[in-house]
């Protein structure tokens, strides 16, 4: 449907948290998705010259229908440009500057109403750097406000951090990013988790992208009949273990089909094509606690 909102993921976090690395990883693994990536500047984004099809000052068109756009100091103009792209991208990824407040950016994006919808605010935190950033009187409140706006927090560089740094980081994320699930040690599968379309993933698979991160699993869930979609989505969003969900649900009692998009604690339910099949994919952390739906 041409009038479905353009899903947008905000990737935030202070300098060195790994935002650019993640963006690069997502671009390399687009898997046929038409991605539009908005970055503050092209400076740190090395794009393989072979991939570049066309380029002007602010926009680089890549093979496979992806584009990169630098927004400098006018994000709203860049978003207006994204909205006008034809054909429409499948997913917009917005990398914020290190000191930007993602909550304010999400509020600004909301002005685009039905055209662009914030799918999630993902805040990256560097396990090695976060404790010092929170001790820095110039930065602490900015970092706290960034974490406070997160739907999902990704702890990066855990392998470089000391046990103390790791513990301090986890503690502070729990304290300041209340209710947002924390993902660690899974960076090489994040592009899959954050993809706007995870529904091709087959059921009951373990993420197996590398040696040390089998902490996420995915499964499909098809309710036996119509459900209270709002309540079901809420229970998934409130569950610490659930990182991501996407799919279609038959609502009770009016039997309308809706699409669920959930990342961490944020979800949206939008009307879906009635011809689609109900069923959702859930990606969750392997924990001892019981999942809300099974």
Partner 1 sequence: MIKILSARKILTMNPQKPQATHVALRDGIILGAGSLAELEGWGDYDLDTRFADKVLMPGLVEGHCHLQEGALWSHTYVGFFDRMSPEGDMQAGCKNLDAVLSKLAAAEAQLDAPATPLPAWSLDPIYFDNQRVDRGQLDAISTTRPIGIMHASGHIMNVNSKALELAGLMKPGINHEGVPLGNDGLPTGELKGPDVMSPVSIHVGFDRDMLACDEQGMWRFGKLCVRAGVTTATDLAARLPDEAVTLMRKVTGNTAYPARIVPLRFHHGGSPEDLIKHVERLAAQSTDKLRLGRIKIVVDGSIQGFSARLRAPGYYNGAPNGLWYIAPEHLAYILETSLAKGIQVHCHTNGDEATQLVIDTMRKALRKTPSGDHRFTLQHCQLADTAQFRQIKELGLCVNLFANHHHYWGDQHYELTVGPERAERMNAAGTAARQGVPFAIHSDAPITPLGPLFTGWCAMNRKTASGRTLGDAEKITLDQALYAITLGAAYTLHMDGEVGSIEAGKRADFAVLEDDPEEMGVDGFKDTRVWGTVLGGKPFAAADV
Say how far residue 233 (Cα) sits from the centre of its chain: 17
25 or 97, CB closer to partner 1?
A: 97
Say how far residue 94 (Cα) sits from the centre of its chain: 10
Does residue 14 belong to the site contacting partner 1 (CB under 8 A)? yes
Interface positions, 158-177, toward partner 1 (CB under 8 A): none
Which tokens hold the place of 291? 């999942």
97 or 268, CB closer to partner 1?
A: 97
141 or 273, CB closer to partner 1?
A: 141
3-state helix/strand/coil string of 80-127:
HHHHHCCCCCCEEEEECCCCCCHHHHHHHHHCCCCCEEEEEEEEEEEC
Of the candidate residues 31, 110, 135, 205, the single one contacting partner 1 (CB under 8 A): 110
63 or 99, CB closer to partner 1?
A: 99
Among the listed ranges 112-120, 175-183, 252-260, 269-277, the one in contact with partner 1 (CB under 8 A) is: 112-120
Kindly determine how many residues on this chain lie close enough to bind partner 1 according to the rule CB under 8 A. Answer: 32
Contact partners, residue 168, CB within 8 Å, separation at least 6: 130, 131, 134
Minimum distance, C-beta of residue 208 to partner 1, in the bound complex (Å): 36
Rounded CA separation 274/289 (Å): 34
43 or 87, CB closer to partner 1?
A: 43
Minimum distance, C-beta of residue 73 to partner 1, in the bound complex (Å): 4
50 or 57, CB closer to partner 1?
A: 57
Minimum distance, C-beta of residue 232 to partner 1, in the bound complex (Å): 24
Does residue 55 belong to the site contacting partner 1 (CB under 8 A)? no
CB atoms within 10 A of CB 78: 21
Minimum distance, C-beta of residue 273 to partner 1, in the bound complex (Å): 24
Does residue 111 belong to the site contacting partner 1 (CB under 8 A)? yes
Interface positions, 136-155, toward partner 1 (CB under 8 A): 136, 138-139, 141-142
Contact residues: partner 1, CB under 8 A: 14-15, 41-44, 57, 70, 72-77, 80, 97-99, 101, 104, 107-108, 110-113, 115, 136, 138-139, 141-142
């Amino acid at each position: 449907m041409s009038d479905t909102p353009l899903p947008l993921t905000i990737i935030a976090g202070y300098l060195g948290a790994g935002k650019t690395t993640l963006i690069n990883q997502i671009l390399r693994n687009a898997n046929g998705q038409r991605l539009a990536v908005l970055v503050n500047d092209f400076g740190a984004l090395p794009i393989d010259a072979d991939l570049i099809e066309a380029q002007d000052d602010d926009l680089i068109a890549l093979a496979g229908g992806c584009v990169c756009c630098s927004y400098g100091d006018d994000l709203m103009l860049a978003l207006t440009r994204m909205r006008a792209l034809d054909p429409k991208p499948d997913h917009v990824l917005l990398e914020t500057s290190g000191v930007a407040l993602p909550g304010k950016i999400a509020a600004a994006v909301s002005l685009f109403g039905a055209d662009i919808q914030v799918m999630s605010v993902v805040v990256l935190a560097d396990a090695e750097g976060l404790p010092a950033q929170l001790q820095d009187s110039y930065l602490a409140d900015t970092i706290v406000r960034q974490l406070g706006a997160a739907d999902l927090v990704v702890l990066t560089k855990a392998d470089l951090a000391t046990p103390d740094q790791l513990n301090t980081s986890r503690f502070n994320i729990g304290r300041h990013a209340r209710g947002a699930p924390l993902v660690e040690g899974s960076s090489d599968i994040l592009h899959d988790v954050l993809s706007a379309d995870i529904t091709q993933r087959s059921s009951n698979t373990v993420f197996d992208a590398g040696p040390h991160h089998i902490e996420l699993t995915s499964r499909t869930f098809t309710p036996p009949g119509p459900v209270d979609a709002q309540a079901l989505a809420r229970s998934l969003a409130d569950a610490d273990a659930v990182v991501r969900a996407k799919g279609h649900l038959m609502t009770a009692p009016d039997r309308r089909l809706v699409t669920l998009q959930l990342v961490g604690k944020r979800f949206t339910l939008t009307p879906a094509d009635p011809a689609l099949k109900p069923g959702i994919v859930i990606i969750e952390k392997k924990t001892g606690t019981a999942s809300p739906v099974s």
